[in-house]
Amino acid sequence: MQTSRTPNRRRSDRRLATGLFALAAALAVNSLLGPLAAGVVTYPLSETLLNQTIGLEAFTLVAVAPLTALAGVLVLRGHAVGPVVAIPPAAYTVYMFAQYVVGPEYGTYALVVLLHLAIFVLGGGLLVAAWTRARQSDLPPMSPRRTRAYSVGLLLLAAFVTSRYLATAGAFLTGGPIPAEFVDDPSMYWSIFLLDLGVVLPVTVAVAVGLRRGAPWARTALYGVVGWYVLVPISVATMGVAMVVNGDPNAAVGRVVMFAVAALLFTAFAVYAYRPLLAPRTGRQAIR
């Protein structure tokens, strides 16, 4: 599906597409420079976190970077869904590269931190640009039934995020230790904790409530949030696979299976949400 574009809109599309291509290239280069491939970039991380980084960068290289480039192609060709498709990988970049900057226990200044900061800023800028570029008129109508389903689905996603930290509630009262895999990398744990409970959880709940109240902004946010929930659980599952393959002492097959199942369920929900968006305009009204 393509839309007629004014000269200003075409220029805006070219800028957004160029940024997406640059982000795709930066994500690929970062993955290839790290422990996954060349090993030019090293991180002051424990064995467990290095294994997780290998899994993360493999997923970023084979899935997220191509998805980002695809979004750039869609935007460049004037497809209305292009900016919407760009939101999840941009949000993924912001989430992951905040951890790249804050998580490692750097004791000295390192050039790679500037690279990761630049990727974080680029991802954030593209997230805002894609959000701004996505138009309500390009989004499919939502029936009351679908709106309720989306809202309930988002609340279940929020419950999944919350469930990961329920076991730690008592530890705050007793001063218990953080999970064993993060003992040597506490900054990484607390950065994930902050992002999950301070950003992801409130945003997910806000979008669910916004949909039920008919807020226009929530319709756009739905696709970004749902797409993010597909990318991140798969990336976590690949981290677990890398740990198992490399014989990591903190590897847990059960955890890999749990995130793999979660990724399948979240992907099914994303397909349900995105199907009307990707349907031809003439067929959208019939999708309920």
SS (H, E, C) 119-171: HHHHHHHHHHHHHHHCCHHHCCCCCHHHHHHHHHHHHHHHHHHHHHHHCCHHH
Q: Using one digit for the tens of pLDDT, what is the confidence trace for 98-125?
A: 999 999 989 899 999 999 999 999 999 9
Count how many residues are written for the chain: 288
**Torsion sign (Cα): 46, 200, 20, 113:** negative
Q: What is the mean pLDDT of the chain?
A: 90
| 2-35 residue pLDDT tens | 555 667 677 888 999 999 999 999 999 999 999 9
Kindly list the distances between the CA atom of residue 118 and the CA atoms of 27, 114, 125, 131, 189, in Å, as whole numbers in the listed order.
11, 6, 10, 20, 22
Contacts of residue 199, defined as CB under 8 A and 6 or more positions apart, other chains included, come to: 95
Q: What is the pLDDT of residue 28?
A: 97
**Inside any domain, residue 252:** yes
- Return the higher-pLDDT residue of 259 and 138: 259
Structural domain includes residue 1? no
Work out the pLDDT band at 180, boundaries 50, 70, 90: confident
Residue 267 domain-assigned? yes
Burial environment of residue 1 by CB neighbours within 10 A (0 to 12, 13 to 18, 19 or more): middle
Asked if 246 and 54 touch (Cβ cutoff 8 Å), the reply is yes
pLDDT at 280: 66
2 inside domain? no
pTM across the whole model: 0.90
- Give the Cα separation of 154 and 205 in Å (integer): 7
In a domain, 149, yes or no: yes
Residue 248 to residues 48, 89, 239, Cα–Cα distance (Å): 6, 28, 11
3-state secondary structure (DSSP) of residue 187: helix
Residue pLDDT, tens place only, 237-251: 999 999 999 998 888
133, part of any domain:
yes
Range of the domain at 205: 7-284
What's the DSSP call for residue 246? T
Number of structural domains in the chain: 1
Over residues 57-65, mean pLDDT? 96
CA atoms within 13 A of residue 10's CA, in its CB half-sphere: 5
